[in-house]
Chain A
Amino acid sequence: MSYMTKSPWVIHYDASSCNGCDIEVLAALTPVYDLERFGIINTGNPKHADVFLVTGSVNEQNRAVVKNIYDQIPNPKVVVAVGICATSGGVFRECYNVAGGIDKIIPVDVYVPGCAARPESIIDGVVTALGILDAKRQAMKEKKSENAGNRGDVV
């Protein structure tokens, strides 16, 4: 993990999950699994977050909330769909009130399957997401220097 220059913070939102994955996300942050050893802190504020952990199958009332939180997270950001409900709707996909997977609302970078997703696989998902986050950050940097170069040409 030495290539990370910043501590990535996560924000967690329950978009109509049964709680199973939510408590496993919290369990991943506590001493036995200890996600904090990667410098990761669970923040309640989307403006401080880099990684968005979403659980559950997104019901109608939650669509706007999920979109809103996603928009508030500054770029670069990654989205991790935790659990099978967040991935595809899971057992609830036939219910009248659920949209299905999170990817119907916002772009998803990493899918963590499982019902409920185990803390080990959540950690694996988040660590994979950190790699993607770094690539996105790099891409932004290059784009920025490119833009700066372009401006130089015009002047």
Chain B
Amino acid sequence: MSRQIIVPFGPQHPVLPEPLHLDLVLEDERVVDVIPSIGYVHRGFEKLVEKRDFNNYVYLAERTCGICSFIHGMTYCQGIEQVMGIEVPERALYLRTIWSEYSRLHSHLLWLGCFADSFGFENLFMNAWRIRERVLDVLEQTTGGRVIQGACKVGGVRRNIGSEKLAEMNEGLGIIRREIEDLTNVFLFDSSIRHRLKNVGVLSKEDAYHLGAVGPVARGSGVNVDLRKTGYAAYGKLKFEPVVETAGDSLARCTVRARELFASIDMIHQAIAAIPEGPLDVKVTGAPEGEYFSRSEQPRGELIHYVKGNGTKFLVRSRIRTPTLTNIPPLVKMLAGCELADVPVIVLSIDPCIGCAER
């Protein structure tokens, strides 16, 4: 047996936009063990529920993560609404769905770009981010914010989208769709990319299930879980099928996300066609008493916001369980036995969002 050496990976590393530290135990070029250590982005704001009232905490919930901020805010609001028994107006539910899916588009395009960067395809990174700007433009025009939207509140939404703008968005999606087709064709059919991703970081269906993989990591390994099927917001009224691939390697996870882009565009089209007229919010009176696990499908997988109130306007406890945290054990499994040069690709293939994971 050759001698083992430990190579530190991170916290500051060119492929990592965020700090994560991995100790890679190597035998020659092969990774035999991985010891992850986290804590570089832990801010501890769950404790701030004691200082901010439940309406103001939406702003903090949104800032769990700058990439899927809208979905964080929405999931928290759903939790409070369930505890307090608030009926959210239909139109607000549809608007939440539309913004959620735009967030997913922007998150997946961001990821495709970063993923291309991780295997050294700079041009593809630039192209993915160029298309992403179109999605961000729509988010900015409709909510006022590019990455932190602040559009969701307990009891509804803050802003309306007029019918003219909805029609414009419908048209704009056509352009985005064509550009995404060109982009994903490169990811899925380019021979050098396929060569780079195929059979890299394989996660079997059993492992994905038992290690608690969620989102595209689970769906890339053939586990059919998609929280949108539970029908929160307006998802119950939209027709869609979860995107599932069975190979379980990096290419499969990439394919899942690429195909989800088109699924998201379809869902936005459906939501725009079906959105009813009506009020945007209901008045919130009183304070939450009780507890609730609010679940939703974030671009990275299942997100849980647990809220517990005691009848005052300050919550007793907020707990956020994010998809990246649950995807770390599967990541460790994928990394064991891989080549050192594949580590950046495999780490990126779970779409790590450390800002979420550590809060």
- A-B interaction: yes
- Which residues of chain B from 1 to 56 have any CB-CB distance to chain A below 8 Å in the complex? 11-15, 17-19, 39-45, 47-48, 51
State whether A19 touches B43 (Cβ < 8 A).
no
Is B355 an interface residue, CB under 8 A from the partner?
A: yes
Is B269 an interface residue, CB under 8 A from the partner?
A: no
- Which residues of chain B from 300 to 359 have any CB-CB distance to chain A below 8 Å in the complex? 353-356
- Which residues of chain B from 121 to 155 have any CB-CB distance to chain A below 8 Å in the complex? 125-127, 129-130, 132-133, 136, 145-148
Minimum distance in angstroms from B44 CB to a CB of chain A? 4
Is A96 an interface residue, CB under 8 A from the partner?
A: yes
Contact string against B for A residues 86-103, beta-carbon threshold 8 Å, 1 for contact and 0 otherwise? 000001101111100000
**Cα(A56)–Cα(B356), bound, Å:** 14
Interface-forming stretch among B61-69, B90-98, B224-232, B248-256? B61-69
User: Chain A: which residue is nearest B106 at the CB level?
Assistant: A23
Contact string against B for A residues 51-90, beta-carbon threshold 8 Å, 1 for contact and 0 otherwise? 0000011010110010001000000000000000000000
Minimum distance in angstroms from B144 CB to a CB of chain A? 12
State whether A21 touches B66 (Cβ < 8 A).
yes
Q: Majority SS of interface residues in chain B?
A: loop
Is A26 an interface residue, CB under 8 A from the partner?
A: yes
- Which residues of chain A from 1 to 36 have any CB-CB distance to chain B below 8 Å in the complex? 12-24, 26-27, 30-32
Number of interface residues, chain B, beta carbon within 8 A: 44
**Cα(A46)–Cα(B13), bound, Å:** 10
Minimum distance in angstroms from A6 CB to a CB of chain B? 21
State whether B12 touches A69 (Cβ < 8 A).
yes
Of A19, A26, A65, which contacts B12 at CB under 8 A? A65
Q: Note all chain B residues with C-beta closer than 8 A to A91.
A: 45, 59-60, 63
State whether B42 touches A115 (Cβ < 8 A).
no
Of B13, B15, B355, which contacts A17 at CB under 8 A? B355
Q: How large is the interface on A (under 10, 10 to 19, 20 to 34, 35 or more residues)?
A: 35 or more
Q: Note all chain A residues with C-beta closer than 8 A to B42.
A: 16, 59, 61, 97
Minimum distance in angstroms from B9 CB to a CB of chain A? 12
State whether B17 touches A31 (Cβ < 8 A).
no
Of B12, B125, B130, B356, which contacts A13 at CB under 8 A? B12
State whether B129 touches A26 (Cβ < 8 A).
yes
Q: How many A-B residue pairs have CB under 8 A?
A: 125
**Cα(A116)–Cα(B67), bound, Å:** 11
Of A18, A24, A43, A45, which contacts B65 at CB under 8 A? A18
Is B83 an interface residue, CB under 8 A from the partner?
A: no
Of A30, A65, A92, A118, which contacts B43 at CB under 8 A? A92
User: Chain B: which residue is nearest A17 at the CB level?
Assistant: B355
State whether B17 touches A97 (Cβ < 8 A).
no
State whether B14 touches A59 (Cβ < 8 A).
no
Minimum distance in angstroms from A38 CB to a CB of chain B? 16
Of B19, B47, B355, which contacts A95 at CB under 8 A? B47
Q: Note all chain B residues with C-beta closer than 8 A to A57.
A: 43
**Cα(A12)–Cα(B280), bound, Å:** 40
- Which residues of chain A from 109 to 139 have any CB-CB distance to chain B below 8 Å in the complex? 115-116, 118
With A18-B355, A23-B110, A59-B40: A65-B66 Cβ-Cβ less than 8 Å: no
- Which residues of chain B from 103 to 127 have any CB-CB distance to chain A below 8 Å in the complex? 110, 113, 125-127
**Cα(A30)–Cα(B42), bound, Å:** 28
Is A107 an interface residue, CB under 8 A from the partner?
A: no
Of B15, B19, B64, B130, which contacts A65 at CB under 8 A? B19
Closest 8 interchain pairs by CB?
A44-B14, A20-B66, A19-B66, A30-B129, A19-B355, A97-B44, A32-B133, A31-B130
- Supply 15 A–B pairs (Cβ within 8 Å), ascending by A: A12-B17, A14-B17, A14-B18, A14-B41, A16-B43, A17-B41, A18-B65, A18-B69, A30-B129, A44-B13, A57-B43, A59-B40, A59-B41, A61-B40, A116-B66
Beyond known contacts A31-B127, A44-B13: 4 more, CB 8 A cutoff = A14-B41, A17-B41, A30-B130, A95-B47
State the A residues within 8 Å of B (CB): 12-24, 26-27, 30-32, 43-46, 56-57, 59, 61-62, 65, 69, 91-92, 94-98, 115-116, 118
